[in-house]
Structures are given as structure tokens and as C-alpha cells.
Amino acid sequence: MDFYKNFDNCQGNVIDSLKMLLYQRHENIFERIDFEDDRIYLEPLLFAYVMQENNSYLDSIIFGYEKNPKSKIQVFSNHTGTIYIPQIGYLHTQEANKELFLEGKNNMFFIIDHEGKEVSHSFEPIHFLDENIEIVKCQHPLLKKIFFDAQDEIVDVEIEKTYTKHIDHANKAIQLIKEYFPTYFDLIKKTIKKIMIFDGEPNSFANILAHNMIFLNAHNENDEVFFLDHILHESAHVVFNTLTYNSKFNLFNYPFDTKFSEITGDVNEHGDLYSRFHGLFTFIIINACLEIVINEKALQGKQNEEVIGRFSLNMKRFETGINMFTIPNLFTEEGQDWYELFVNTFNQIYERKNSLINSIDVSNQPYVFTFESFKEVNKGFNMQSI
């Protein structure tokens, strides 16, 4: 299976689906935005928009993409008073969680409240990482609902003070992927239009409600090795969502959203069948790239040790994941093709790197890899000999 060859067709299917959903809501939509400009239909907030029922959000989402933008539109501030408009930028106000109006006059923007009074604001343009990937620096009201804690409660996260510390780290990770894993990097360029870096309770994630965007939970101690691992991981979720947007219904001999515990008989298993299968795809991407980075000695010292630790942990979790799917009559023919790709990729990497993988102790690692835990149990390992 060569999913790289199928990718453009699959992405075209996703775009066509979004166009149809937009047209069903707004029959005049293609009079406002260019039907042929697929760049528009990769906008993450358009996916968030069609997944909810409030039509009022549309104007502010497509304003920067419109052929002839309206002179006055409704806009929405978030919990910090910031209004984010794709392709335009950020309008910072003191009005938190408010419905306001944006007016354009003489090439200037004005914010107006419901009483017609002007609201003071400052403007900030869009920020970009390397390779023209936008770094989103605030929560949009439509995205707030995808930030959950362990109790499935919606939580606030810190963005402004977090992303500024990690721009260089994210850029270095992007360049590592571009240099050492260029074929996959081409898919990142096609899919990952926006990245949000935050600090809070949710782990890093991707969500179909904001398709073509990834959310990375970073802390002060994290550097480009963290971002290398997590950009690969979360972008792979976006890529697999694209590749299986239509076919996910045909991968298994069960409904794709069947609880995994019902398949395995283990009540302690979490998630559904499709989401757990997703994880296997992320492992083929993460481990293929990290193996190359290790082989090429792209990183030195502590960073080299950390990438080896992360590689070993991901390979061991990959093996566990593969073994969980050894269930009779689980897959359709297409699902079996994917599973064989996962198994074959694991076997090929493991054959080359089993000595390294098995020489590393990752038994004390929490869900999110920490270098401190790694060093506790690998003090005597000579990384320089690799």
C-alpha cells in the first residue's frame, strides 16, 4: 500500500465534502468565496463551523477569503477579549466573550458594540512558523469545546506566554522533518495549515473538528526533540483522517465507532475501534522519521539521548498496539491492507534496530515521555557508542 500516491485524491474528497456541507447551509456560498481555490477549504475553522449550527460565525471565518468582503460583519471575542479572523489577524479588545461588529471604512477596521458605540482595540497580524505554517496564538470560541481535562470538562489553557518560548524549537523540528523525512514532509505541507502551542491539562492532540490544525501541549523544558515527536504524531492523525475520511466506514467488520473494549472484551480498554487504529498509523510515521534522525546523527548530546528514548518508547508501544489488533474477522480487505502495512513497517524497523530498542529501559515512562524518567533508569547506557 502506497498511501502517498492516494493522498491527493483523498484530500480532494475531504474538500468536496466540506464544499457540499457549506452549500447545504448557504446556497450563495460560492458567490462569496472561490469554488476553485482549494486553499480556502483547508481552513480549520470551516470544519469547526459545519460541525455546529450557529450560522452567525460564517462571516468572520470567510471574511479574509471573500471575493468582495462585506463592509460590516458580526464577530466574536474569546474569553480574553481577542477576536481572531483567519487571513486577517487578531483584534484585541477588553470585551470578553462578546458578540460585536467589525466595520471596514477607508481601509481601516472599527469594532462596534450592539449599541453602535466604538470599542477600543489593537490589531496584530497573523504569525507564521517556517514553511508558511500559521502559529495560532489564541482560542477561537468554536475551538474552546475541544479542550478537555481528564474528567471531560472544558478547560482554559495558556497560549500567549507559551508559544513565544517555543517558536525556535518548533521551527527546528519542522526543518528536521523537511531534511530527513521529505516525502512525509510534503504531506505536512499539504495538510498542516495551523499549529497552536499551549500549556494546560490536555495532552497534544488533533481533532477532526479543526481539521488541518494540530495542538501541541508544551512546557518550559521542551525543545525541538519534543516538537519533532509531537508534530510527527499529531500531523499523522490529520493525515490519516484525510486518507480514511470516506473509507473509515469500510475498514472493519464492525461499525468504526464501536468501543474498543467491546472488541477486545477488556473493560479497561478506552477509545473506539477507529481511534485506536489511528494510533498505529502515527507509529509508522514517528518511528520511520526518528530512525533516520538517529542514523544520521542529526542531534547531539542530551537531544540525541532523548530522541533515542522516544524512539524506543514509541516502538514498544507500536508493538503493543499491533498485538491488540490480532482479532479474528476484525478487518475488511482494505482494513487488512492497512494492518499489514503497520505490521510490515514495524518488523522492518525492528529488524534494523532491535538491539538499540531492547537496550533502552522505558518501563517507568508516563504517557507523555519525560527525559528525567528516562535518565533515572538509563544512567549507565553509553549513547556515544551508537
Q: At what angle do helices 182-191 and 160-180 cross, to 10 degrees?
A: 140
33 and 157 together in one domain:
no
On the question of pLDDT at 385 being above 70, the answer is no
Task: Say if residue 91 is in the same domain as residue 134.
Answer: no
Q: Band of the pLDDT at 265, cuts 50, 70, 90?
A: confident
Clarify whether residues 145 and 16 are in a common domain. Answer: no
State which of 74, 104, 126 marks the end of a domain: 126
Q: Of 73, 108, 126, which closes a domain?
A: 126
pLDDT greater at residue 87 or residue 104: 87
What pLDDT does 152 receive? 79
Q: What is the pLDDT of residue 386?
A: 55
Whether residue 241 is found in the same domain as residue 101: no
Domain assignment of residue 168, given as a range: 130-385
350-to-200, 306, 354 alpha-carbon distances in Å: 35, 19, 5
Same-domain check for residues 163 and 137: yes
7 plus 28 within the same structural domain? yes
382 confidence band (pLDDT: 50, 70, 90): low
- pLDDT for 380 equals 73
Considering the chain, what percentage of its residues have pLDDT values greater than 70?
A: 98
Confidence of residue 156 (pLDDT cuts 50, 70, 90): confident
Q: What is the mean pLDDT of residues 101-123?
A: 92
Q: Do residues 111 and 59 both lie within one domain?
A: yes
Residue tagged 468582503 (cell numbers)? 69
Question: Both 103 and 157 in a single domain?
Answer: no
Whether this prediction's pTM lies above 0.85 is answered by: yes
The residue among 126, 158, 181 that closes a domain is 126
Domain check: are 57 and 151 in the same one? no
pLDDT for 27 beyond 90:
yes
147 and 175 share a domain? yes
Give tens-digit pLDDT for 207-260.
999 999 999 999 999 999 999 999 999 999 999 999 999 999 999 999 999 999
pLDDT surpassing 90 at residue 146: yes
User: For the residues 121-148, what does the mean pLDDT come to?
Assistant: 95
pLDDT in tens, 172-186: 999 999 999 999 999
Average pLDDT (256-272) is 90
pLDDT score of 113: 95
Beta bridge mates, 108: 105
Please report the pLDDT score of residue 383 as a whole number. 59
Mean per-residue pLDDT of the chain:
95
Total number of domains constituting the chain = 2
Across the range 129-155, mean pLDDT stands at 91
Rg of the chain over all Cα atoms, to the nearest angstrom: 22
**Is 103 found in the same domain as 48?**
yes
**Higher-confidence position of 142 and 386:** 142
| Together in a domain, 122 and 191 | no
